[in-house]
Amino acid sequence: MTDMTEDRGMVKQYWRVPTRGLIGFRGDFINSTRGEGTMVRQFFGYEPYKGAIQQRQNGSMVSTEQGVSMAYSIFNLQERGQFFIGAQTDVYEGMIVGIAARDTDMDVNPTKNKKQTSDS
């Protein structure tokens, strides 16, 4: 990434990537931005080969809810991946909260709390 700017809730990221690194990326980009992103490509110039492009090994754990993360849900979701957040962290819908054990993105609800039972 060479630059990133934010204006009125919109983020612009500038990357310098070889063309071969963009092959197959459009679908991932559309999924990641839920169809809201715009990708513009511009040829910068020729450069010497710099080696193989590393492939993504894991997907992301993405929050489906806004609220405060709960220890109960994080504990129950641990086997599905590694969390970046702990309990009592403010999260928003679409926030990446961890790395999934699988190679695809996974929707999770870190705000889910244990249902209270009555002892009547």
Please list, residue by residue across 22-47, b when 16 or more beta carbons sit within 10 angstroms of its beta carbon and e when fewer do: eeeeeeeeeebeeeeeeeeeeeeeee
Mean pLDDT per 10-residue interval, the chain, length 120 residues: 86 86 80 83 88 81 94 91 91 91 90 75
pTM of the model: 0.53
Please state the domain count of the chain: 2
Q: Are residues 63 and 110 in the same domain?
A: yes
Q: 13 pairs with which residues across the strands?
A: 4
User: How many CB atoms neighbour CB 85 within 10 A?
Assistant: 17
Query: Any idea what the CATH number is for the domain that residue 82 is in?
Result: 2.40.50.250
Q: Are residues 61 and 109 in the same domain?
A: yes
pLDDT at 118: 65
With contact defined as beta carbons under 8 Å apart, do 82 and 49 qualify? no
In order, the DSSP letters of 62-78 are EE-S-EE--HHHHHHHG
Q: Are residues 42 and 62 in the same domain?
A: no
For 77, the domain range is: 57-115
